[in-house]
Amino acid sequence: MSKSKSVAWKWLLCGAAAVCAVSLCVGAPTANADYKSAWEQAEQELKEETAKYNQIKNEKSKAEQQKQSLENQKSIITSQVNEAIDQINQKNSEIAIQQQAIADKQVEIDNRWSDFQNRMQAMQVMHDSGAVAMITSAQSIYDLLTYSDTLQQIAKKDTEVLEDMNAQKAELQQEEEKLEQDKAELEAAKQSLESKQAQLAAIIQQQNETISQKEAEAQAQQEVVAAKQAKADEAEKQYEAWVKSQATVGSGQCAEGFRWPLPIAGRVTTEFGASQNINGVISTGHSGMDVAAPAGTPIYAAHDGTISTTTGHWTYGNVVMVDNGDGVSTLYAHMSSIAVRVGQSVKQGDVIGYVGSTGNSTGNHLHFEVRINGVRQNPRNYVSP
């Protein structure tokens, strides 16, 4: 048999398989609706519970940030309290020094006053008993005047010295009062800071209780999310099983003659089996090939076939799966919109949707898969731009 006849015969077999796929897909719309409805409901419940979990985590995070801010404020106030204590201790030292200076000055005044009193007493005695003798002993008026002037100068000098020392003592006392006033102000500031410190400590304790509560709520909600995730995974698994059941099972020999599913080459951003970072989450074993293209770019059917499913998928977004017959199927994901319906026959090159970024996506692109009997294949083996 010639090669051309072999290819024609193969395409005839593939066409017959595609006809079988049409009857299978058209004949089970209710099952599709049931599986899809159960899966979408499970996904919605998961989304709601996950949103609650994220809200709790956000509230906990805010409480932790507020606590950190309060801790920072408390640390600053603690430093200010310690500084105030140091200043109060310094004032106490200065006051002690000042008080000693006042005491020393008082001793000096007392001693000088005692000397002054003794001289006054001596002068009084001299005035009472020796004045006449001293006057009569004077040889001249000059001696008499000199004696009287000397006594007056001594008394005046003592008075000036006493007045000066009292003035110095008064000045020292004023300085002590100023130090005491400064100390009182520091004590008041310290008490105010300690009051704020206590208030912050109480608020921090409340924040700790809030954080503990939110942590407990998050753990409980995490269990709810895990249960909803398991339910959603099971629902999706059943739905995917149903989708696979709608495709033909065969040799996969129809998996040739594919065309590039876009009108432009685009840029392949993720190859089949590669690792990728999707919204901060690292995943491995990429199930298809991602091709970046502008939003709204038409997406073509890569091969003849029948639309086996069109749906909104939390990962794939708007997705279309085409049963190409003989166990071969192709999948097109993240569409901005879908242009076909379930059970519809399409020819290679027909527009089935438009490039978008729906589902778990970080930018406008087409996620393209080739499956044979449900097993994902490397699209590079079947298409090229």
Among residues 313, 340, 301, 333, the alpha carbon closest in space to that of 240 is found at: 313
- The one-letter amino acid code at 356 reads G
Mind listing the pLDDT tens digit for each residue in 29-48?
A: 344 556 767 777 887 888 88
Task: Copy the structure tokens of residue 314.
Answer: 């939390």
Mind listing the pLDDT tens digit for each residue in 98-138?
A: 788 878 877 877 787 777 667 666 655 555 545 445 555 55
Bridge partners (DSSP) of residue 323 are: 306, 329
Among residues 228, 258, 273, the alpha carbon closest in space to that of 14 is found at: 258
Mean pLDDT in the chain? 79
pLDDT of residue 1: 43
H or E stretch including 120? helix 29-125
Q: Cα(145)–Cα(138) distance, rounded to whole angstroms?
A: 9
Q: Distance of CA 215 to CAs 126, 220, 225, 269, 314, Å? A: 99, 9, 15, 39, 27
341 vs 233 pLDDT, higher one = 341
Which CATH fold topology does 1-246 show?
Helix Hairpins (1.10.287)
Strands 276-278 and 289-292: what pairing?
unpaired
Per DSSP, 130 falls in state I
Among residues 282, 285, 288, 290, the alpha carbon closest in space to that of 274 is found at: 285
Bridge partners (DSSP) of residue 346 are: 305
Q: Distance of CA 320 to CAs 215, 312, 355, 366, 377, Å? A: 41, 9, 12, 11, 17
**pLDDT-based confidence at 270, cuts 50/70/90?**
confident
275 vs 327 pLDDT, higher one = 327
DSSP calls for 249-304: -S--TT--S---SSSS--EEEE-TT--EEETTEEE-S-SSEEEE--TT-EEE-SSS
Mind listing the pLDDT tens digit for each residue in 198-226?
A: 888 898 899 899 999 989 999 998 999 89
- Residue 360 phi/psi, 5° resolution? -85, 85
* pTM for this model (two decimals): 0.52
Same topology, domains 1-246 and 250-385? Answer is no
Q: Cα(304)–Cα(288) distance, rounded to whole angstroms?
A: 20
**pLDDT-based confidence at 274, cuts 50/70/90?**
confident
H or E stretch including 199? helix 141-246
3-class secondary structure, 341:
coil
Q: For the chain, what are the domain ranges?
A: 1-246, 250-385
Among residues 333, 276, 243, 280, the alpha carbon closest in space to that of 33 is found at: 243
pLDDT of residue 346: 97
The answer on pLDDT for 14 being more than 60 is no
pLDDT of residue 27: 37
Mind listing the pLDDT tens digit for each residue in 141-200?
A: 555 555 556 656 766 776 777 777 778 777 878 877 887 888 788 888 888 888 888 888
- Residue 291 phi/psi, 5° resolution? -125, 115
Burial class (CB in 10 A: 0-12, 13-18, 19+), 20: middle
The answer on pLDDT for 266 being more than 60 is yes
pLDDT of residue 101: 80
pLDDT of residue 338: 96
Mind listing the pLDDT tens digit for each residue in 51-86?
A: 999 999 999 999 899 989 988 988 898 888 888 888
Architecture of domain 250-385: Distorted Sandwich (2.70)
pLDDT of residue 9: 40
